[in-house]
Amino acid sequence: MNLTTVRLMLRMLRRDWRAGELSVLGVALVLAVAALCPMGVIALCGIPFNLVTILVPVILVSLSVCDVIHVINAFHSERRGMPADDAARAAIARLWTPCLWTSIVTM
């Protein structure tokens, strides 16, 4: 790691999490889960790695990032008029069906 990266990380730790870092953390968490879980399940089931099994995490990451971006955008739209907890519930209540159907259709 270079010094610029360390400075950026320290600045993020000192700042208020509402300034956007929490959104980035949410996307990073979804990326990690979407990439690691399928590969772990594939390995535990003894399924051999081939071109199709290697592409599964890539497809899941693409779907997950798109869904998370939509939910975060809806959260920020809802946040203008209500508290954070209510805004999160409203955003997810409004978007769970479209996100589910786009994921099902894509898979």
Q: What is the spatial distance between Cα 63 and Cα 73, in angstroms, rounded to a whole number?
A: 16
Query: Mind listing the pLDDT tens digit of every residue in the chain (107 residues)?
Result: 456 666 665 565 555 555 566 667 776 777 777 778 888 888 899 989 898 888 888 887 787 778 878 888 888 888 887 888 888 888 889 988 988 888 788 76
Phi, psi of 69 (to 5 degrees): -65, -40
pTM, entire model: 0.58
Q: What is the spatial distance between Cα 76 and Cα 104, in angstroms, rounded to a whole number?
A: 26
* DSSP label at residue 6: H
pLDDT of residue 1: 46
